[in-house]
Amino acid sequence: MNDITKKLKEYFLTMTDKEGRYKDPNTGLFRPRSACEIIKSLDFPKKTEKTMKWILKSQNPNGSWNEIHPDLDEESCVETAVVGDMISELYFKIKSNLLRTNILKAGNYILSKEFSPGYFIKSYRHYADVLNVNATCASFLYKLYLITKNKKYLEARDRAIFNVVRYQFKDGAYPYSSETRTFPYEWGLDVKDIHYHALTLYFLLKSDPELKNRYLKISAEKAVKWLAESLSKDSFKWEKSNLIFSIGVTGAYGYAAYCFNKMKFRNEFETCIRILRKIQNDDGSFNRFHKGSFSQSTKNILSEITNDEFTFRQKLVRMKRKFKRNFIERNKIVKDLYYTSQIFECLSSI
């Protein structure tokens, strides 16, 4: 694993601009989340001070940070929770009053977005009860408790944990969201997905490192088994994923590696590291997608035929989109900072 993180460090130490920002070669965007994941994983060397100043400057007056994608740039719980989580790691090292102020502002914002117990709204354009959002909030709320010793954060964390694990499928998989269809999605997204399952489990494990929460302990044990069953010797079994916009993304291997290591699934951990080593680019970066085999991609598309969650018309639409994702998008070589920084953060946390 050290050889992978060494190449990642060398890659990131050469790519900041004069303001300390990291530009995504795929989208041209500058994301606070990616910047935080990178400098936290670099262990906050002195040369990242400009980056941290830019991150703090980009915080909105209400304490949030914007989630930034090609079609989105607005305040977001998931962005605020992840950035707050990473900044908290720096606070534990330097005990800066300035950082504490920014962290508490972010914490107040997160608490203000709890629309019902444990349900943290993603943004003004996404109202779905998205499980990975609740999990990221749980992780940050735990950090807030460690910083302040205020039990209101621990109580909020426990509500977020419960609002994730109560939707878990019997086989251990976490759905992307609750079963209720909400804006902006065309249908309910209570579907199984390997990437977001791994991401959700990752932040849940960070929200309670010792698994003292009994609900989480039981849930995590089932969740890691489902994740292990979704892994083959050279790839995830992407045919099991039904959230089209995350099929084949490379970040899944980073999140899974952390989860397998934490839950003592040694063989699966080593498999993820072997895959990451194989797909890492020479310059240290990772592409957006892990290319799928013809058989795997075909299985993923044809799985819609027996999917009882959707109408016939919806199945046709989804099959068309799955074809595009599996046979067109996943075959493109696209270097991607978004997932590269996530992989770096996950491996550096092991």
Strand runs labelled E in 239-285: none
Tell me the pTM.
0.96
Q: Looking at the domain that runs over 2-348, which CATH code has it been given? A: 1.50.10.20
Task: Please report how the helices 151-165 and 97-112 are oriented relative to each other, as an axis angle in degrees rounded to 10.
Answer: 50
State the pLDDT at residue 48. Answer: 87
State the pLDDT at residue 183. Answer: 62
For 73-108, the DSSP string reads EEEEHHHHHHHHHHHHHHHHHH--HHHHHHHHHHHH
Q: Which residues pair with 74 in a beta bridge?
A: 67
The neighbour count for residue 108, using CB atoms within 10 Å, is 13
State the pLDDT at residue 184. Answer: 66
Give the list of residues 6+ apart from residue 188 with CB closer than 8 angstroms, or none.
177, 178, 179, 180, 181, 309
Is 265 within 8 Å of 290 (Cβ atoms)? no
CA pseudo-torsion sign 102, 105, 111, 113: negative
Ramachandran region, residue 264 (left: φ > 0; alpha: ψ -120 to 50; beta: rest) = left
pLDDT along the chain (350 residues), means of 10: 97 91 94 96 86 96 96 94 96 91 98 97 86 98 98 98 97 92 73 97 98 98 98 95 94 98 98 98 97 92 88 92 95 95 98
Closest alpha carbon to 160 in 189, 126, 120: 120
The neighbour count for residue 307, using CB atoms within 10 Å, is 14
State the pLDDT at residue 194. Answer: 98
124 burial (CB, 10 Å; 0-12 / 13-18 / 19+) is exposed
Q: Rounded to 10 degrees, what is the CA torsion of 115, 104, 345, 191?
A: 0
State the pLDDT at residue 188. Answer: 75
State the pLDDT at residue 38. Answer: 96
State the pLDDT at residue 307. Answer: 84
State the pLDDT at residue 180. Answer: 73
Boundaries of every domain in the chain: 2-348
Task: Please report how the helices 2-12 and 266-279 are oriented relative to each other, as an axis angle in degrees rounded to 10.
Answer: 40
